């Protein structure tokens, strides 16, 4: 029964605002072609790159990348500038785009010009085709200005080639891993996801011909592979060999996902299987078997708690940073203790304890907003009508006070929202005894 679920899961991940994205790309290209090439075209000299260009993006993507090729003579002009030539180049491109978008926030940022639309940003990399290195030469404003090389065409070609020999499973898996990392706050950039999934399919041909029916086994193997990787500061990107840096924090959560997928594979009922897969991949995974084949027994929606809010319904989710939360537990005259440390020794917390949840670590650049959600689960929570689950603003305090009032499983989740996008999240479980 898992095959139609994974097929629907893939369909649920499709980027649903592709029309708006296409319009943005076209308008940016038209303006730059007019100013730098004296040409009327909304497609020439442009290449969609990044996750969207590789065909591995999912709905909610907030950072879109494009390379715009400029004339070689323009490179020679800014290369010979006294001072920071790359910075001057970014300002020229920014000025061009300001003509098209006078009321839009547009800024130069290191290597790119960032155009901030309502639901996403487009990062435009002004670049020059260098046939001698078979790649693009581009400017970097840091350290007084330097010129570097990137090879996104080779990366796209490598991913496409391996996708073809794996029955399109490579890109399907890349998208589904993105759903997992966004659900669990795993700081993995898009190119790192694609690189590691690419490497997984490169070291085994077991799933080259896999269909959706085999996806349960595929993800046990894939998460096991990710969880077993030793820490590296960087990996080599497909095709280009570009360094893809990593914080190295994905392995532990990947191991947990592998175990959960194995549980789902062994589940006695479709209901339990779906519950487990939704815990791994989030709400994009179907809550029931698609209508065309489901039985009456499967006709229920497993999203039981209708009062709960979900961050995906409030903000786009595109995890790009790390967030760690913890809680200080006090009460009954005992010294304050950290909840995560206590959970290693005690399964349950007693009642009548005070809890101060706080942001222990966050590497999101300021400014940003912190949001909290407290969800109560179990019969007593339902009896008291205390399911909760609303997403609430932090008010700048980076902490939230709660208490252990009644028995059951409880979950506290924090979200970091920057520029209208949830870019980091973390969850902590609170189990309270009778």
Per-residue pLDDT at 306: 52
Q: How far apart are CA 417 and CA 368, in angstroms?
A: 6
Residue 149, classified by CB atoms within 10 Å of its CB into exposed (0-12), middle (13-18) or buried (19+), is middle
173 token code pair: 């898996």
Task: Name the pTM for this structure.
Answer: 0.85
Domain boundaries, the chain: 18-150, 158-298, 311-432
Q: Find all residues with CB under 8 Å of 274, minimum gap 6, and list them.
A: 5, 285, 286, 287, 288, 302
Which whole number is the average pLDDT over 339-351?
58
Annotate 267-298 with b (16+ C-beta within 10 A) or e (fewer).
beebeebbbbbbbbbbebbbebbeeeebeeeb
Annotate 334-345 with b (16+ C-beta within 10 A) or e (fewer).
eeeeebeeebee
Q: How far apart are CA 38 and CA 68, in angstroms?
A: 14
Q: How many CB atoms lie within 10 A of CB 190?
A: 23
User: 311-432, which class in CATH?
Assistant: mainly beta
Which whole number is the average pLDDT over 269-296?
82
The CATH number given to 18-150 is 3.30.460.90
Specify the range with the lowest mean pLDDT, choosing from 31-40, 124-133, 221-230, 290-299.
Answer: 290-299
The answer to whether the CB of 407 falls within 8 A of the CB of 434 is yes
Q: How far apart are CA 275 and CA 250, in angstroms?
A: 22
Q: How confident is the model at residue 305 (pLDDT cuts 50, 70, 90)?
A: very low
Please provide the average confidence, as pLDDT, over all residues in the chain.
88
Which whole number is the average pLDDT over 177-206?
96
318-342 pLDDT tens trace: 998 999 999 887 776 555 677 766 6
Q: Find all residues with CB under 8 Å of 335, minimum gap 6, and list them.
A: none
Q: How many CB atoms lie within 10 A of CB 91?
A: 14
Per-residue pLDDT at 344: 55
Q: For 370, list phi and psi in degrees, rounded to 5.
A: -105, 130
pLDDT at 407 over 60: no
């Amino acid at each position: 029964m898992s095959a139609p679920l994974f097929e629907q899961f893939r369909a649920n991940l499709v980027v649903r605002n592709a029309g708006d994205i296409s319009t943005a790309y076209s308008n940016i290209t038209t303006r730059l072609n007019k100013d730098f090439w004296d040409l009327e075209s909304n497609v020439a000299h442009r290449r969609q790159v990044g996750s969207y260009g590789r065909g591995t993006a999912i709905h909610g993507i907030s950072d879109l990348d494009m390379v715009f090729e400029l004339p070689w003579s323009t490179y020679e002009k800014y290369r010979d500038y006294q001072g920071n030539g790359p910075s001057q180049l970014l300002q020229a491109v920014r000025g061009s785009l300001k003509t098209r978008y006078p009321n839009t926030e547009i800024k130069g940022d290191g290597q790119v010009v960032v155009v901030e639309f309502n639901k996403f940003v487009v990062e435009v990399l002004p670049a020059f085709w260098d046939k001698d290195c078979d790649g693009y030469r581009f400017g970097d404003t840091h350290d007084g200005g330097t010129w570097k090389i990137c090879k996104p065409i080779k990366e796209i070609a490598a991913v496409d080639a391996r996708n073809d020999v794996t029955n399109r499973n490579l890109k399907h898996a890349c998208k589904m891993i993105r759903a997992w990392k966004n659900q669990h706050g795993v700081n993995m950039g898009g190119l790192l996801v694609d690189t590691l999934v690419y490497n997984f399919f490169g070291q085994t041909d077991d799933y080259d011909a896999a269909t959706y029916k085999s996806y349960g086994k595929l993800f046990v193997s894939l998460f096991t592979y990710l969880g077993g990787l030793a820490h590296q500061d960087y990996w080599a990107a497909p095709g280009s060999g570009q360094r893809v840096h990593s914080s190295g924090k994905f392995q532990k959560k990947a191991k947990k996902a592998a175990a959960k997928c194995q549980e789902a594979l062994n589940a006695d009922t479709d209901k339990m299987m779906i519950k487990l897969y939704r815990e791994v991949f989030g709400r994009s995974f179907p809550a029931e078997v698609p209508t065309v084949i489901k039985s009456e027994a499967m006709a229920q929606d497993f999203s039981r708690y209708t009062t709960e809010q979900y961050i995906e319904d409030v903000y786009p989710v595109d995890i790009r940073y790390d967030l760690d939360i913890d809680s200080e537990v006090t009460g009954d005259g005992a010294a304050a203790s950290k909840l995560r440390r206590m959970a290693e020794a005690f399964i349950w917390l007693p009642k009548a304890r005070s809890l101060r949840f706080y942001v222990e670590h966050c590497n999101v650049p300021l400014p940003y907003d912190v949001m909290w959600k407290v969800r109560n689960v179990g019969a007593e929570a339902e009896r008291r009508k205390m399911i909760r689950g609303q997403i609430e603003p932090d008010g700048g305090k980076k902490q939230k006070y709660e208490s252990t009032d009644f028995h059951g499983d409880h979950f506290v989740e924090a979200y970091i929202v920057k520029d209208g996008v949830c870019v980091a999240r973390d969850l902590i479980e609170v189990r309270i005894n009778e």
